[in-house]
Structure 1
Amino acid sequence: MVEGAAKSPRKEAIRLSKLLEISLGADRFPVDVASLAREISRNYGDPIDKIVGDELPGFEGMLRPHKKRPAWHIVYSTNPQYRGRERFTIAHEFGHYMLHRPELSAADYRDGLLTKECGFECLPLQSNEWKQAEREREEEADTFASYLLMPIDDYRVQVGRNEMSRELLAHITRRYGVSLLAAVRKWIEFTDTRAAMVVAYDGYARWGRASDTALKTGIFIPSGMPIPEASVAGMGPSALKDQDRAVQLPAGIWTFRRGSEPVRELTIFSERLGLSVTLLMFDRAPFGVSLAEEHIPDTYDQFVQSGQV
């Protein structure tokens, strides 16, 4: 973290979002995060003086110090097909700058060269190899990026009380300039309904995330879980090619630790990525059914800085 200060990723992102709201109003979306990072960092003695896209084999992005003066560079992996991912990566690295970097000064440059290692290199799908401190740091940077690009108060206004649909998700991704996965994960984080998301590849769940209310009633997506053949996700892209709204499925198709129940399923297939993204929406749990006292892990934590989020 920044020396002498422990910052909350949510509070810091909300603070910057409020500044944007004051200066730009309703026209602040999608957030020009590169311009914001440069402008905000000018208030510090070690600003961000370069943000550049480049080919980074094995990396999503990095925040690295200048070798000869107190300053920082953000470098992100370029992919013209996934501009939303690029925006999120820049915001993630900006989060490292605001939350985790050691503030640099001239004293750190002996004979004109940096004397300590202090950069952040973010790799996809590596969190299972990270130490706990690294895992927490990456999750904090992701949280910062999510709240900066998609402020929760504005997101709630956009969604309202509507059930998620393909059209509504398209609106969200356009408004905030983020990927589909980032938009869905944001909804799962704050919705008070029982819902879960499943990201699947080749017939198996790659990772999943459930809302708090769903977790408390035993809805949990284990990594590697087979996708039910009778589900929309299991039937493949040709099943409901033009599906806009969730399809009602009976009990006996999607099964979890408390058994099976009817569910509304909305699945979007990405042929470019070879993935399916599924939203499962459940009715209210029967009265008294709760696992609130149990600690249920989140499989998303195994893929904190996934290359597809």
Structure 2
Amino acid sequence: MTERKRPHKEANRLSRILDTLPPEERYPVDIQRVALELTPSFNDDPITDVQGHALKNFEGALAKDPAAPRWAIFYNTNIEHPGRVRFTLAHELGHYMLHRQDAGPNGFECGTSDMLRYDTGYAVREEEANAFAACLLMPAHDFRHQVEGEPFRFDLLGHCADRYGVSLTSSVLRWLEFTSKRAVAVFSEDGYMHWAKSSPKAFKSGKYFATRSGPIPVPSTSLAAEQTFSFTARDGVRHAPGVWFDEEAVEYTIYSEEYEKTLTVLLLDNTGGYDLLDEEHEMDASDMFRRWENIS
């Protein structure tokens, strides 16, 4: 039986090669170059083409040539935000590195939700492709250097988004994986949560939103519900117990232009700063999936 490939290990394998590039070429990662130049050195069925098309029903796809041992990545040219394009390409590269042996005749076709679902029980392959993309685009060792010792600020994560050429949302989600703070990110629209993701410490303390069970309304007295996108909301407002959780929480809320939804980060009181994970010990996406399954 073939051992299941783990997202962070496959991403780190590529990152070690990319770390040999000159500093001015290292970030942001050129996913097209990685796909076309590195996959032939790893496998006898490489990616040989990366194309953009005006796709209607999905943002990215990984397709196999039925007549030859080769693959192609397609992305939607209607995506306007370059960070979303880069993450889409990395997500499809993740499917290639991790799942191509299990691909059906149509390969993989991924929509926006496939690259934005971080709630309970989402499909393992999509979670793993997301984890691979995040690890490749925002390697743990470099992310650590950018954020270690710094308090949460959207400006800090915006700096990371610029450095890695990703969306602010992707940068925030990567930060959640590393921080030892109790923090929860919520993506919402029209008063309901699309998904929510908790940091490990927040999850262990029981602070999470199980959006898998169905739509969860955003608290009516929160900044997110009021759609208050002011400098005050961006810099954080402390709420009394009973607004978000049964304890005080500092809410940071902005409007995500790249996804046209509300992005909220909640910080709960706790001691300690960053406890960033080593690249070889990041929680695997399927492990997190099983952890969520145990409580749903």
Question: Do the structures match in fold with TM over 0.5?
Answer: yes
Give 2:136's match in structure 1, choosing from 148, 153, 157: 148
Deviation of 1:197 (Å) = 0.3
Deviations 1:52-83 (A, max 9, x none): 11122111211111233221110011235211
Letter in 1 for 2:130: D
Kindly report which structure 2 residues correspond to 1:208-287, keeping only aligned pairs within 5 A, or say none.
208-223=196-211, 224-238=215-229, 240-241=230-231, 243-255=233-245, 260-270=246-256, 273-284=259-270
Deviation of 1:237 (Å) = 3.3
Deviation of 1:18 (Å) = 1.3
Counterpart CA distance in 2 for 1:158 and 1:29 is 13
Counterpart CA distance in 2 for 1:147 and 1:264 is 28
- On the 8 A contact 1:58/1:124 being kept in 2, the answer is no
Task: Provide closer, same or farther for how the CA distance between residues 272 and 84 of structure 1 changes in structure 2, counting only shifts above 3 A.
Answer: closer
Contiguous gaps of at least 5 residues in structure 2: 116-120, 272-289
In the other structure, the counterpart of 2:77 is 78
* TM-score of the superposed pair, with normalisation by structure 2: 0.81
Counterpart CA distance in 2 for 1:98 and 1:65 is 13
Root-mean-square deviation over aligned CA pairs: 2.8
Letter in 2 for 1:99: L
- On the 8 A contact 2:249/2:268 being kept in 1, the answer is yes
In the other structure, the counterpart of 2:146 is 158
| Count of residues paired in the alignment | 267
Stretch deviating more after TM superposition (33-42 or 158-167): 158-167
More helix by share: 2
In the other structure, the counterpart of 1:297 is 292
Letter in 2 for 1:35: R
Deviation of 1:186 (Å) = 0.8
Kindly report which structure 2 residues correspond to 1:180-199, keeping only aligned pairs within 5 A, or say none.
180-199=168-187
Task: Provide closer, same or farther for how the CA distance between residues 47 and 272 of structure 1 changes in structure 2, counting only shifts above 3 A.
Answer: closer
In the other structure, the counterpart of 1:130 is none
Question: Which has the greater radius of gyration?
Answer: 1
Kindly report which structure 2 residues correspond to 1:103-122, keeping only aligned pairs within 5 A, or say none.
117=105, 119-122=107-110
Letter in 2 for 1:217: S
Stretch deviating more after TM superposition (271-280 or 62-71): 271-280
* TM-score of the superposed pair, with normalisation by structure 1: 0.78
Give 1:170's match in structure 2, choosing from 145, 152, 158: 158
* Identity of matched residues, %: 39
Counterpart CA distance in 2 for 1:165 and 1:79 is 30
Stretch deviating more after TM superposition (200-209 or 72-81): 72-81
Deviations 1:169-227 (A, max 9, x none): 21011011111221111111121110000111101111101111111112111322222
Contiguous gaps of at least 5 residues in structure 1: 104-115, 128-132, 286-294, 303-309
Q: SS in structure 2 opposite 1:188?
A: helix
In the other structure, the counterpart of 2:15 is 17
Task: Provide closer, same or farther for how the CA distance between residues 89 and 126 of structure 1 changes in structure 2, counting only shifts above 3 A.
Answer: closer
Counterpart CA distance in 2 for 1:51 and 1:31 is 15
Counterpart CA distance in 2 for 1:171 and 1:125 is 25
Letter in 2 for 1:138: E
Letter in 2 for 1:297: W
- On the 8 A contact 1:215/1:296 being kept in 2, the answer is no
